[in-house]
Amino acid sequence: DPHPIAVIVGSLRKGSYNRLVAQALIQLAQPALQLRLLEIGKLPLYNQDLEGGDLTPPQPWTDFREALRPMHGVIFVTPEYNRGVPAALKNAIDVGSRPYGAAAWTGKPAAIISASPGAMGGFGANHQLRQSLVFLDMPPLQQPECYLSHIDKAFGPDGQLGDERLRGLLQKLLRTFEHWVECHHGH
């Protein structure tokens, strides 16, 4: 059976380059990986006052956690905001990490892609995100590293990936990630 893999995009804007990268990944994925976009834009900001005890947590939190739980892995595709992880993505990480002791992320292998029109390819966000994955016990794929610079030049007007080298890199990441998921799933 194919491995269900969540793809989470750290940008909320419609024309997002990171979303285009995520869509390219979905098109390129081999049959062994079943990639699904998990949306994070409607998650209320995490607030500990909204759950615990007799409280029913906000429905979007519960839906997100339940969508995440059966996944065998997670691929993050994110921009960098002020050299760090965009707030929307950090919020999704926090929402999925609770209730304490029952995080929906635990043990899932992860891959991180960062993309920017700039020259550094979102390196800062990419590595800041890795810091949270340590605590969440999500083994992060190390290679190939994917800091996608000048991403505004990679797509044609139709939104299709025109950059052959980038396509090769994404295919390599997908193949390596399949192996990574096989290594960790059920262990």
The smaller minimum CB distance to ligand FNR, of residues 103 and 115, is found at 115
170 φ, ψ to 5°?
A: -65, -35
Q: Measure Cα distances from 141 to 44, 55, 77, 175 in Å.
A: 29, 37, 13, 11
At closest approach, how far in Å is the CB of 80 from ligand FNR?
4
The smaller minimum CB distance to ligand FNR, of residues 77 and 95, is found at 77
Q: What radius of gyration, in Å, describes the C-alpha atoms of the chain? A: 16
The smaller minimum CB distance to ligand FNR, of residues 17 and 180, is found at 17
The smaller minimum CB distance to ligand FNR, of residues 4 and 118, is found at 118
CA-wise closest residue to 130 among 187, 186, 89, 164: 89
H runs (alpha helix) in the chain: 17-28, 59-68, 87-96, 123-135, 164-184
At closest approach, how far in Å is the CB of 2 from ligand FNR?
27
Spatial distance between the Cα atoms of 42 and 49, rounded to a whole number of angstroms: 18
At closest approach, how far in Å is the CB of 116 from ligand FNR?
3
Spatial distance between the Cα atoms of 49 and 111, rounded to a whole number of angstroms: 32
At closest approach, how far in Å is the CB of 59 from ligand FNR?
27
The smaller minimum CB distance to ligand FNR, of residues 78 and 132, is found at 78
At closest approach, how far in Å is the CB of 79 from ligand FNR?
3
Binding site for ligand FNR (CB under 6 A): 11, 13, 16-18, 79-83, 116-118, 120, 122
